[in-house]
Chain A
C-alpha cells in the first residue's frame, strides 16, 4: 500500500492487447449465445417483438464490449507500449505466490468443502495456509501444501469414481477422521522439521488459529445463526450432541 495518490498512466500496458483479444472472444461468444434466444415470433404463448426479446440487452452489451475491446487493442498498438517486451515477462515472473494462494482457496472450495465436515476442512485449510505463509520455512511450506493438495486430489479422485460417502454415515465419518489425521500428522511432521524457536512459536500460532476459527465459526453459524454448514460430519455431529445435551440439561 502506498501513501501517495494512486499512480495514473494513460498509455496502457502490453498485456492490454491480449485482454483486448480475449474480450473480443467473450463478446463474440456472448453475441452468439444471444442469437440463439427468441428474437421474434412466439415464446411460451407470448407474441414477441424485437424490443421485448431477451436477446436485446445481451446483444447491446456484447456490441459495446466488442467496440471497447477493439478500441483497447487500437489504443495499445498505437501507444507503442508493445515495444516494451520486458514488461510481459516481468509481469509473469513472481506470479508463483498468486497461483499458490488462488490454488489453496480453489482446492478448499472444490475439493474439501463439499466432501469433508466443515470444521475439519476449515482446520486443514487454515493450518496449511498459515504454515505456508506465516512460518517462513520453505520446507514446512512444502510439506503443508503438499499434504493439503494431495488430500484434495485424493478426495476429487474419489468423487470422480463415485466414492464420496453419503453425509452422516460411518463411511463419511471415516473420511473426516482420515483428513483430520492427515492434518494433525502434517503439523507434527512440520514441527519436527525445525528446532528454531521462532518458527516453532509461529507454528503454535498457526495451530491455535486453525483450531479455534472453524470451531467458533461453525458453532456461530450452526447454533446461533441457524445456518447449516456446507457439510456436517464428524465434528459437527459431535458438537450437536454436546449442544443438545447442554440444552437438555438446562
Chain B
C-alpha cells in the first residue's frame, strides 16, 4: 500500500511538473546549458551548478531544483562530447569515455558513440535515481536515531574519507584541505553563545562565511587560471554523422550497464568522491571482466557504455548522503547543497519530516532531467558540437564575470566578492600543490554541524567524552575514522600485513 501511494505520488509529481509550461522550458534549457557546460573543456558540472545557483535565487523551490538537477545531469553527460570528438574530456567525469569514444569517432563512428553515450547516461541516471529512492528512506530511518554524537562523528568521517580518496598526492594533504575548510567554518559568531570568532570587527563576517561564494571561488577561479594558463591548442573536432541511439548494442551490454550503475551509485555515495572516479573504476571493471580486454582503448562500445553509465548513476549515489545526512557525495552535490540551503532547505534526516514529499519530487525531477538530457542529446547534439569550436580564451572571461556577479548577488555585499577571489586564488595555489579542493569545501559546509554537535554532545554528557563510546553507531563511526586514518600509517600497514601473512601461513 505504501509503495502504491509512493508510486501515485511520483506520478502526480511528474504530472504537476509537466503541467507547467515555464518549468518544461526551464528543464529543457537547463539541460541544454548543462550539456554545453559539460562539453566545453574548462567548464565543469560543479561550476555550472554553482553559477546557476546564483540565477535561481529568485525562483521558487520547484523551478530552482528542476534547473539545477537538469544542469547537473546534462553537464555530467555533456563531458563525453569533447571526450569523444576531441579526445579532451569536457569534465573529469568523462575522462574514461575518451579511451574508447575517440577511437570510435576516428573510425567514423562519432554519431554512434554519441548515441550510445546518450542512452547509457540516460539509463545510468535512472538507475541512480532508483537507488536513491530505494535506499534513502532506510538511511533516513537509521539517521533519525542519530544524536549530536553521531552527527559530529559523521561530519568528521565525511571530511576524513573525502580527504583520503580525493588527494592526488599524499593523503595527508586531503586531510589538511578538510581541516582548512573547518578552520574557515569557524569564522563568524558561534551558534551556541553567539560569540564573534575571527571576525576582526568586520560585521559582514558576523554571520560566518557565505558558502556559495566560497564554492564559486574554489571551483571557478582555479578552473579559469588553469585552463587559460595551459594554452593547449584544441585538436580538430571529429566528424559526428547521424546520432543513433543503437538500442541493440545497449541491450547486448546490459550486464555492463547494471554493474556500472552499481559502481556509480556506490562511489557516488562516498562523501566528496565524484563522477570521475566512478567512470574510471567502472571502465576498469568492464575491461577486467571482458573476454577481450585487448579491444578496450581501440573503440570498444562496452568501455564507453560502462564509463558513461557509471558517471551518471553517480548523481543518484551522490544525492543519497546529501538528502539523508546532509553530507554531499560529490563536488557538484556540494554546490547543490549550497543551493538547497539558499532556498531554505536543510538536507538531512529531518528533511523527510519537514518536507515528506521531497524525495518523490526529487525522483520525478531526476526522471524528467534524464529524459530532457536524452532528447537534447539525440536532437541537438550536432548543434552543441559547433560550440566546441569556441575558444576558452573567449568564454572563460565571461565565466569570471558571472562568478563575480553571482557571488555578489547572493548577499548583496562586496565582502562576498573579496572572499570569492581570496578563496579562489588560495584554491588555485593549493591545487597546484596537489591539495584536493573537495575536502576543503566539504569542511566549510560541515564545519558548523561538527562544531555545534560536538558541544551539544559534551553538554549532554556534562563534558564526559567517554559517552561517545557508549553508543553503537557512534562506535562504528569512531572505528571507521580510526581505520581510515590508520590505513595511512606505514607502521600499521606493516603490522597488518605481517598479521595477515601469519594467518595465511597457519591456514
Contact = CB atoms under 8 A, between A and B. Distances in A.
Interface of A: 1-13, 15-16, 19, 23, 26, 30, 33-34, 37-38, 43-44, 46, 48-54, 56-58, 60-62, 64-65, 68-69, 71-72, 75, 91, 97-98, 101-102, 105-106, 108-110, 113-114, 118, 122, 125-126, 129-130, 133-134, 205-206, 209, 213-214, 217, 220-221, 225-230
A51 B221 CA distance: 38
B450 interface: yes
28 contacts: A1-B95, A3-B99, A4-B95, A6-B168, A8-B168, A9-B434, A11-B170, A15-B433, A33-B197, A34-B197, A44-B195, A49-B459, A57-B450, A57-B454, A58-B183, A71-B172, A72-B170, A97-B228, A97-B229, A101-B224, A102-B425, A105-B404, A113-B414, A122-B401, A209-B394, A217-B405, A221-B409, A229-B405
Interface stretch (B83-91, B263-271, B338-346, B370-378): B83-91
A48 B433 contact: no
A225 B451 CA distance: 35
Given A109-B404, A230-B408, A3 B89 contact: yes
Given A12-B170, A109-B404, 5 more contacts: A37-B195, A49-B463, A51-B459, A62-B183, A209-B394
A3 B95 contact: yes
Given A51-B463, A221-B405, A230-B414, A3 B98 contact: yes
Given A98-B229, A105-B221, A61 B179 contact: yes
A48 B193 contact: yes
Interface in B255-304: 280
Given A8-B168, A54-B193, A134 B412 contact: no
B472 interface: no
Interface string B411-430: 01010011011001100100
B391 interface: yes
Interface string B98-135: 11001000000000000000000000000000000000
Contacts of A130: 393-394, 397
A92 B391 CA distance: 27
B183 A30 contact: yes
Contact of A133 (B89, B95, B182, B393): B393
Question: Which 5 A-B residue pairs are closest in the complex by CB-CB distance?
Answer: A51-B458, A134-B393, A129-B397, A57-B451, A54-B190
B411 to A, nearest CB: 11
B459 A227 contact: no
Contacts of A68: 172, 175-176, 179
B229 A12 contact: no
A19 B394 CA distance: 34
Contacts of A217: 401-402, 405
Nearest to A210: B397
Contacts of A7: 168
By secondary structure, the A interface counts as helix
Contacts of B175: 68
A113 B434 CA distance: 32
Interface residues of B, number: 71
Interface of B: 41, 55, 57-58, 83, 87-89, 92, 95, 98-99, 102, 168-170, 172-173, 175-176, 179-180, 182-183, 186, 190, 192-195, 197-198, 221, 224-225, 228-229, 231, 280, 391, 393-394, 397-398, 400-402, 404-405, 408-409, 412, 414, 417-418, 420-421, 424-425, 428, 432-434, 450-451, 454-455, 458-459, 462-463
A1 B88 contact: yes
A60 B229 CA distance: 38
A50 B433 CA distance: 37
Contact of A16 (B89, B394, B433, B451): B433
Nearest to B88: A1
A230 B421 CA distance: 16
B425 A225 contact: no
Contact of B401 (A50, A61, A213): A213
B412 A228 contact: yes
Contacts of B231: 97
A134 B393 CA distance: 5
Contact of A106 (B186, B192, B409, B425): B425
B405 A10 contact: no
A126 B401 contact: yes
Contacts of B421: 105-106, 109-110
B172 to A, nearest CB: 6
Contact of B455 (A52, A61, A62): A52
A205 B394 CA distance: 8
A46 B95 contact: no
Contacts of B450: 57
A38 B189 CA distance: 13
A12 B190 CA distance: 36
A72 B231 CA distance: 33
A226 B194 contact: no
Given A44-B193, A106-B425, A217-B402, A134 B394 contact: yes
B170 A16 contact: yes
B397 A209 contact: yes
B414 A114 contact: yes
Given A49-B463, A72-B176, A130-B393, A209 B95 contact: no
A186 to B, nearest CB: 15
Contacts of B102: 3
Nearest to A72: B172
Contact of B95 (A2, A15, A34, A52): A2
A185 to B, nearest CB: 20
Given A65-B180, A130-B393, A227 B57 contact: yes
Given A1-B89, A108-B404, A126-B401, A101 B180 contact: no
Nearest to B461: A51
A44 B189 CA distance: 13
Contacts of A220: 55
